[in-house]
Amino acid sequence: MEDQNAPSPVSASTRLTPPIIPAAFFGMVLGLGGLGNAWRAASRVWGMPTLVGEVLSLLAALIWLVWMVFYVLKWISAREDALNELRHPVQAFLVVLVPIATLIASMAIAPHLHTVALIMFALGMAGQVAFSVWSVGELWQGGRHTEATTPSLYTPTVGGCYVSAIACGTFGYPEAGLLFFGAGFLSMVVLESVVLQRLMTHALPPNLRATMGLHLATPVVGSAAYLAVSDGPPDRFVQMLFGYAMLQTLVMLRLVPWLREQAFTPAAWAYTFGISAMPVAALRFVERGQHGPIAMLSLPLFVVANVIIGWIALRTLRLALTGRLI
């Protein structure tokens, strides 16, 4: 006879399952970690409170840890979803945000847990290189449609190599960082024409317009990368590269009404990669003795970065509190 007091079995549909997060969520780490670096630089240049930079940096590292746990669980409990993301013609290139965010998190915790940070640095750099080689190998085999050509193409070789260069400079390997900068810069030059050709002939649909944030990021993160692996006063090359970043910024401002046709989602964090790098690069110019127009822009860029990233963070928190984040 069946025991009426025995607990009923829990069906598979009612079991708690970990949220299935997209790799794009790691973009939050890039935005908050970049803003933390801006505050760290501001504390050195302007005497701003050091606590703010440390809190933002450690918050970025904490978010990296949470997303990393969920991402690993996705490969365990929802392997097909993870594989589908890796096969997707657009989303696949954002998977490299996992090792890139690992590099950002390693720099965030470096002053506090140096040995752990070094391990994360090595793993992040190796992961970025491996993914870049795999993704470029896929591109070189052809068969790609115009609709699948978006600014996400920049992420593995340009964004990944630039962040690797910054991390190399942070951990005391500037010579290795120059190799990464060269790979990232020449990849940017090559891919720029490919992406612009698509943008000028086939408009991005609203659900993909946040990837324009990656287009904005390439020259300004490149400026920060070059300054991280070079020494002495900023040379003419990096000043010209930063000038191109400012042109990109003005064009992006002109496109705001068009970009806002996409409803707010966590994809908006793609904009924060470049936005957070702007004050970082400008403040590095100031630290290195540059007192021209870039130094004059450092404070406005710092304020704007805090306002925009703060707004995106609050909108994201609202989504989380209302259960609409994932």
Q: Helix, strand or coil for residue 160?
A: helix
- The pLDDT assigned to 16 comes to 62
Residue 58, both tokens: 């450690």
- The pLDDT assigned to 143 comes to 86
- The pLDDT assigned to 17 comes to 75
Alpha-carbon distance of 104 to 96, in angstroms, equals 13
- The pLDDT assigned to 15 comes to 54
- The pLDDT assigned to 123 comes to 98
- The pLDDT assigned to 291 comes to 84
Q: How many CB atoms lie within 10 A of CB 70?
A: 15
Q: How many CB atoms lie within 10 A of CB 150?
A: 23
Alpha-carbon distance of 38 to 24, in angstroms, equals 22
Fold of the 23-82+91-321 domain? Glycosyltransferase (1.50.10)
Alpha-carbon distance of 130 to 42, in angstroms, equals 34
pTM passes above 0.75: yes
- The pLDDT assigned to 3 comes to 47
Look at the chain and count its residues. Answer: 326
Query: pLDDT tens-digit profile of 88-103?
Result: 999 999 999 999 999 9
- In tens digits, the chain (326 residues) has pLDDT values of 444 444 444 444 445 677 889 999 999 999 999 999 999 999 999 999 999 999 999 999 999 999 999 999 999 999 999 999 999 999 999 999 999 999 999 999 999 999 999 999 999 999 999 999 999 999 999 888 888 999 999 999 999 999 999 999 999 999 999 999 999 999 999 999 999 999 999 999 999 999 999 999 999 999 999 999 999 999 999 999 999 999 999 999 999 999 999 999 999 999 999 999 999 999 999 999 888 899 999 999 999 999 999 999 999 999 999 988 88
